[in-house]
């Protein structure tokens, strides 16, 4: 969303506050890029997941319940029948719960029924209540907005709690200077200019600004620095600024660059790229090759921006996508921001909520609090249908001044966006659950679960990758008490000449032999010993994990027997049916297969180890393959002739940007059909095994 500074939303009105409850200082963490200025304490705070409240073991005593019912009955007699917000307070005047209702008296009466079948969470809340405060509102919409505001301020114990102290960053192209500046902006939008956002993180903004500087050569320096220049700075020398400070470019020329940047950020990227491509062609025909190279570099920078954004929907111009996943008593809400048809990042939230809250209840409360101090987009897409969605949409319309639609898509591209967000929510929660236990506890749990002779200090995980036997590479990742030890990672380019393409067993044999022969000394008697460690972190693994089933396990065991390795524990991890995470089977020598509960922290830990090995080996394989592709060029793509090659380079600027392009972006190149776009994409993105 972009808008002038005069259109910034009004700050939420201050609501009457009760006493602050005694709650932990961090109730929600955001998994996003961390600003370099973030302190270590803040990073530690963000890494901590709040504990899930436990349900009571026994029923609430009749005495406290009777006191709570009496307090609520007293409030019912004085409560209005109109809309409003009510607060339940304990003996210390701490706010326990904030709620809203179309008819406050009727809602409070539902709590006062002695024999009503209420959840344990509600019974505990009633038992702790001694006072009820009520604020009347004109409409139910106003009550909803006030409720969200109070929940964020007071953080009541029995509400879903969203703590979101970080404002979202925007990109600002200033409008108060003859040579506009591009910069990152947070907070009130009071400075004249055009604001584009929100972006999910400071890192996303910084990367985009850097690419925009390369593409449009707009200055990023302060006005004071600009006015003091007598010669161009380094940014001009490296072609990230056009040098308006020393009149290296005239006013009309710089104004045109600013206009192009505004057009690109406003969603008219295709028109901007066509214009730059035409200018590049014109300069090339006039033999002005340096100018043509400058346009080529600008085209490449624009393509880099769009490739970094990942999903760029064709039918969704402006929307926020919310998906929630619950597991193990915790909730994760993943938010994606789409503006001007571009993906401007995503962030994962972990709201504090009791186990009894459903996904729909958590999501509904989350949304109301999320937009309490943020302008909503025109479309909000959800993974779950929430109650009172129409009321929330009306409240956001009143707040924003334009129509806001809330929907749960059932098909098409919008459904795909929600599904993608849901996958990210599931993965983020899995990572967070694994991080809640300390690494030492996970290692201890792994030793107990797998029956290892000792708690492992060094774990090595092996995987290999290839495409039909080409560019075969193996990889080893290492983990220990301090997490992943990335300076110990190793990759192995498969060198065996007689290797049958696709022979995974032979590739694994080569990798393991090359790895362990370096550790072995000549046998002393019948025992094979390892070399002495060079530092405090052991070089000899306590546990080796491979990706595969019983067959891979037996093959690796034969390799170990051949090397005389008996002191290293060995395990294979087989994917579940349909490759479902959480349904893996673990295999160990001379033992029955092991299946852990889907929510077992040890299983999450093993999945993380396997996934990290897979990520590392795939990255190593792709580097090898891209090197081959760059050496061969576009001529290796079947069915792509000289004219299409020229069109691709004309559109994207460089081969690297063609590699990054999506199928949809490739299909926009003149002369490239949908089938050709698919072939080009698959050539660069063939999935290794």
Q: Which residue has the higher pLDDT, 618 or 331?
A: 331
Q: Is residue 479 part of a domain?
A: yes
**Rounded mean pLDDT, 336-350:** 83
209-218, 305-314, 453-462: the lowest-pLDDT one: 305-314
**Total tally of structural domains belonging to the chain:** 5
Query: Any idea what the CATH number is for the domain that residue 121 is in?
Result: 3.40.1440.10
Task: Answer whether residue 406 shows pLDDT above 50.
Answer: yes
State the pLDDT confidence band at 531, using cuts at 50, 70 and 90: very low
383 or 272, greater pLDDT? 383
- Give the pLDDT mean for 494-509: 71
Instruction: Check pLDDT > 90 for residue 380.
Output: yes
Q: Which residues contact 593 (CB under 8 A, 6 or more apart)?
A: 550, 585, 586, 587
Please give the residue range of the domain that contains residue 258: 170-308
- Co-location of 386 and 296 in the same domain: no
Least confident span in 225-234, 261-270, 352-361, 464-473 = 464-473
From 121-125, 214-218, 236-240, 578-582, the region with the lowest mean pLDDT: 578-582
Residue indicated by tokens 């009143």? 398
Residue 162 included in any domain: no
**DSSP-assigned states of every residue in 347-416:** EEE--B--TTS-HHHHHHHHHHHHTTSS---SEEEESS--TTHHHHHHHHHHHHSS--EEE---SHHHHH
Instruction: Quote the CA–CA distance of 432 and 216 in Å, as a whole number.
Output: 40
* Least-confidence region, from 136-150, 638-652, 666-680: 638-652
What is the tens place of the pLDDT at every residue in 66-109?
888 889 998 998 899 999 999 999 988 889 999 999 999 999 99
Same domain, 635 and 604: no
pLDDT band per the 50, 70, 90 thresholds, residue 381: very high
- Assess whether pLDDT exceeds 70 at residue 287: yes
Same domain for 402 and 455? no
165 found inside a domain:
no
Contact assessment for residue 174 and residue 180, using Cβ atoms and an 8 Å cutoff: yes
User: What is the band of 624 on the pLDDT scale with cuts at 50, 70, 90?
Assistant: low
CA torsion sign for 481, 484, 489, 491 is positive
- Whole-angstrom distance, CA of residue 375 vs CA of residue 74: 39
Sheet-wide strand order for 379-382 = 30-31, 342-349, 330-339, 319-327, 379-382, 405-407
Q: Which of 277, 308, 339 is the last residue of a domain?
A: 308
Contact in structure between 98 and 145 (CB atoms under 8 Å) = no
What is the structure's pLDDT at 35? 39
Calculate mean pLDDT across residues 438-462: 87
Cα–Cα distances in Å, from 547 out to 71, 344, 463, 506?
Answer: 61, 35, 6, 15
Q: Contacts from 484-490 at CB under 8 Å and sequence distance 24+? A: 484/612, 485/537, 488/537, 489/616, 490/515
* Tens of pLDDT, residues 420-433: 999 999 988 887 77
587 shares a domain with 443: yes
Residues 515 and 501 in one domain: yes
Neighbours of 79 (CB within 10 A): 22
Domain boundary among 243, 276, 308: 308
Task: Please check whether residue 128 is in contact with residue 56, taking contact to mean a CB–CB distance below 8 angstroms.
Answer: no
* Residues comprising the chain, all counted: 689
Count of Cβ atoms closer than 10 Å to residue 683 Cβ: 16
Is beta strand 569-574 parallel, antiparallel or unpaired with respect to 543-547?
parallel
Phi/psi region, residue 77 (left: phi>0; alpha: psi -120 to 50; beta: rest), is alpha
CA 292 – CA 20 distance, rounded (Å)? 63
Rounded-to-integer distance, Cα 441 and Cα 149, Å: 39
> Do the Cβ atoms of 97 and 87 come closer than 8 Å?
yes
105 shares its domain with 197: no
Average pLDDT over residues 548-575: 86
The answer as to whether 80 is a domain residue is yes
Residue 232's CB is within 10 A of a number of other CB atoms, namely 16
Distance, CA of 190 to CA of 5 (rounded, Å):
6
Say yes or no to pLDDT of 654 above 70: no
Segment 342-348 shows an average pLDDT of 82
Pair 446, 585 in one domain: yes
Give the pLDDT band of residue 669 (cuts 50, 70, 90). confident
Do residues 546 and 536 make contact, with C-beta atoms less than 8 angstroms apart? no
Same domain, 274 and 222: yes
Residue 676: helix, strand or coil by DSSP?
helix
In the chain, % of residues over pLDDT 90? 17
Task: Give me the chain's average pLDDT, please.
Answer: 78
| 616 and 647 co-located in one domain | no
| Confidence band, pLDDT 50/70/90 cuts, at residue 384 | very high
The backbone torsions φ and ψ at residue 588, rounded to the nearest 5 degrees and listed phi first, read -135, 150
Query: What pLDDT score does 324 carry?
Result: 94
Residues 212 and 291 in one domain: yes
Residue 465 maps to which CATH number?
Answer: 3.30.420.340
Region 232-260: mean pLDDT is 88
Crossing angle, helix 269-285 and helix 642-652, to 10 degrees? 110
Tell me the residue ranges of DSSP E strands in 548-609: 569-574, 585-587
Residue at 313 is within a domain = no
Beta bridge partners of 136: 84
Strand ranges (DSSP E) for 468-559?
470-480, 483-484, 490-493, 543-547
Range with top average pLDDT, 106-110, 469-473, 518-522, 610-614: 106-110
Q: Decide if pLDDT at 440 tops 90.
A: no
Domain boundary at 436, 456, 471, which? Answer: 436
Q: Is the predicted pLDDT of residue 304 greater than 70, yes or no?
A: no
Cα separation of 444 and 457, whole Å?
A: 10
Q: Which residues share a beta bridge with 173?
A: 182, 194
Among 440-449, 497-506, 541-550, the minimum mean pLDDT is found in: 497-506
Query: How would residue 10 be classed by pLDDT, with cut points 50, 70 and 90?
Result: very low
673 C-beta neighbours (distance < 10 Å), count? 13
Q: Which residue has tokens 């079948």?
A: 117
Residue 393: per-residue pLDDT: 92
Q: Which helix (H) or strand (E) holds 145?
A: helix 140-154
Instruction: Name the residue among 598, 593, 597, 595 with its Cα closest to residue 581.
Output: 598
Q: Band of the pLDDT at 356, cuts 50, 70, 90?
A: confident
In-domain check, residue 447: yes
Is residue 34 domain-shared with residue 143, that is, in the same domain? yes
- Flag whether 1 is in a domain: no
Let me know if residue 278 belongs to a domain: yes
- 243 and 256 within one domain: yes
Q: In 351-381, which positions are buried (b, 16+ CB within 10 angstroms) versus exposed (e)? A: bbbbeebebbbbbbbbbbbbbbebbbbbbbb
């Amino acid at each position: 969303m972009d808008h002038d500074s005069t259109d910034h939303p009004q700050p939420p009105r201050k609501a009457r506050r009760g006493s602050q409850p005694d709650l932990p200082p961090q109730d929600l963490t955001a998994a996003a890029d961390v600003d370099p200025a973030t302190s270590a304490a803040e990073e530690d705070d963000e890494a901590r997941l709040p504990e899930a409240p436990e349900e009571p073991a026994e029923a609430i005593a009749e005495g406290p319940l009777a006191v709570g019912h009496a307090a609520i009955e007293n409030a019912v007699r004085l409560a209005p029948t109109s809309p409003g917000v009510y607060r339940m307070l304990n003996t210390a005047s701490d706010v326990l719960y904030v709620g809203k209702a179309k008819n406050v008296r009727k809602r409070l009466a539902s709590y006062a029924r002695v024999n009503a079948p209420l959840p344990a969470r509600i019974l505990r809340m009633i038992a702790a209540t001694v006072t009820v405060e009520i604020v009347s509102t004109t409409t139910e919409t106003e009550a909803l907005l006030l409720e969200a505001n109070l929940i964020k301020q007071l953080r009541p114990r029995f509400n879903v709690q969203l703590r979101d102290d970080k404002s979202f960053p925007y990109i600002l192209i200033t409008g108060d200077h003859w040579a506009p500046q591009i910069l990152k902006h947070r907070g009130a939008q009071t400075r004249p200019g055009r604001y584009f956002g929100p972006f999910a993180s400071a890192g996303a903004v910084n990367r985009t600004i850097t690419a925009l500087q390369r593409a449009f050569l707009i200055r990023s320096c302060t006005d004071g620095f600009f006015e003091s220049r007598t010669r161009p700075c380094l940014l001009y020398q490296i072609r990230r600024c056009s040098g308006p400070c020393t009149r290296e470019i005239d006013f009309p020329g710089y104004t045109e660059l600013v206009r192009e940047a505004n057009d690109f950020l406003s969603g008219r990227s295709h028109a901007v790229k066509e214009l730059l491509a035409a200018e590049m062609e014109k300069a090339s025909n006039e033999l002005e090759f340096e100018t043509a190279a400058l346009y080529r570099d600008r085209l490449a920078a624009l393509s880099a921006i769009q490739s970094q954004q990942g999903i760029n929907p064709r039918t969704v111009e402006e929307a926020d996508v919310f998906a929630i996943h619950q597991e193990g008593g915790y909730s994760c809400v993943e938010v994606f921001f789409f503006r001007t048809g571009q993906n401007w990042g995503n962030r994962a939230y972990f709201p504090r909520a009791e186990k009894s809250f459903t996904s729909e209840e958590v999501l509904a409360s989350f949304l109301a609090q999320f937009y309490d101090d943020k302008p909503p987009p025109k479309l909000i897409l959800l993974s779950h249908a929430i109650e009172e969605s129409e009321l929330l949409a009306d409240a956001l319309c009143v707040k924003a001044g334009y129509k806001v639609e809330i929907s749960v898509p059932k098909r098409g591209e919008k459904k795909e966006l929600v599904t993608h967000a849901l996958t990210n929510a599931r993965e983020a929660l899995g990572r967070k659950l694994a991080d809640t236990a300390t690494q030492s506890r996970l290692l201890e749990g792994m030793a107990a679960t797998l029956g290892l002779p000792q708690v492992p200090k060094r774990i090595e995980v092996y995987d290999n990758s290839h495409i039909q036997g080409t560019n075969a590479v193996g990889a080893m990742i290492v983990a220990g008490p301090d997490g992943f030890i990335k300076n110990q990672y190793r990759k192995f380019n498969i060198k065996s000449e007689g290797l049958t393409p696709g022979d995974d067993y032979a590739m694994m044999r080569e990798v393991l032999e090359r790895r362990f022969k370096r550790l072995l000394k000549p046998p002393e008697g019948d025992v094979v010993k390892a070399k002495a460690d060079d530092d405090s972190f052991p070089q000899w693994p306590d546990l080796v994990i491979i990706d595969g089933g019983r067959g891979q396990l037996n093959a690796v065991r034969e390799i170990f027997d051949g090397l005389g390795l008996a002191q290293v524990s060995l395990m294979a991890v087989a994917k579940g049916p349909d490759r479902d995470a959480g349904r893996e089977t673990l295999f160990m020598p001379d033992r029955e297969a092991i299946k852990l509960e889907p929510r077992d922290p040890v299983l999450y830990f093993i999945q993380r180890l396997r996934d990290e090995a897979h990520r590392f080996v795939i990255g190593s394989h792709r580097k090898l393959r891209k090197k081959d592709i760059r050496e061969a060029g576009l001529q290796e793509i079947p069915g792509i002739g000289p004219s299409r090659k020229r069109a691709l380079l004309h559109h994207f600027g460089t081969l690297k940007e063609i590699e990054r392009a999506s199928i949809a972006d490739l299909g926009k190149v003149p002369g490239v059909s949908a089938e050709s776009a698919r072939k080009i994409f698959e050539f660069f993105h063939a999935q290794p095994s």
